[in-house]
Amino acid sequence: MKHRARSSSNVKAPTDLARLREQRDSFADGAAHKQFLSAHDSQVFGVPLEESVRVAGVGISLQAPQPGELVLYGSIPMVVANCGRFLKKNALEVEGIFRIGGSSKRVKELQFVFSSPPNYGRNLDWELGGYHVHDAASLLRRYLNSLPEPLVPLEMYEEFRASASARHILLGEINSALADYKTLLNRLPPTNKQVILYLLDMLNLFAMNCKANLMHAKNLAAIFQPSLLSHPNHDLDPSEYDNSRPVVEFLIQYADRLLPNLTKSD
């Protein structure tokens, strides 16, 4: 999957997307980590999203209008789905979730598990393996930060930040902003859209439990913005970071209204 950044007066096309990965992966621990990635993760971690799903993907379902019915929506990486399921079950009220790091040793073990055929972590027993919720949260962030490009492709970066939606947010025009973002989401590559909506829906659950976990949508946006909406030419500019964070915060807050409308098919 190739991506080319759209030229604009504000953002120039990056010369090397690998630089973006290096800047965004705050979990990398130097040469040893890069060597580990090279040896074990060439098919899952550090590869384009579609390739990761092709090798180790899993179907996801959404609640249908009819009670108790689910509709298959698409596919996301196994590591995202498995971490998400474990975290939603066990960590909604854990203080500092996603902010507090897990054990470096256990996270590396998990990275190996989710990179190993033939199951790629499908049958992992988190409790039997002695893994904690902070380990799962760290692994999820590590996977997302290892992607060669943010989930919002670079060619759509400015549109997500500078579309009418940003102005609507500032003016409190929620419905108009949601309409804009639904249009933008529908223009994303299908796999990117499915992963983004899955993450936003999950993060919305944690934001709804912020009284217990102390992780408001603003905090979660600050943590996940680099892997969702960033550009290598803006990484070291705090003002550009401040322009992007409210967009991610808004998407988390209103995730339930961004999910596709489902109707039963005969």
86-108: per-residue pLDDT in tens?
999 999 999 999 999 999 999 99
| Local confidence band at 261 (pLDDT 50, 70, 90 cut-offs) | low
pLDDT exceeds cutoff 90 at 254: yes
Mean pLDDT over the full length of the chain: 82
Crossing angle of the two packed helices 104-113 and 133-146, in degrees rounded to 10: 60
- Residue 219 CA, chain-centre distance (Å), reads 15
17-257 has which fold? Phosphatidylinositol 3-kinase; Chain A (1.10.555)
**Statement: residue 33 has pLDDT above 60:** no
pLDDT for res 176: 85
Buried b (16+ CB within 10 A) or exposed e, 183-206: ebbeebbebbbbbbbbbbbbbbbb
Give residue-wise pLDDT tens across range 208-217. 999 999 999 9
Report the predicted TM-score, pTM, of the whole model to 2 decimal places. Answer: 0.80
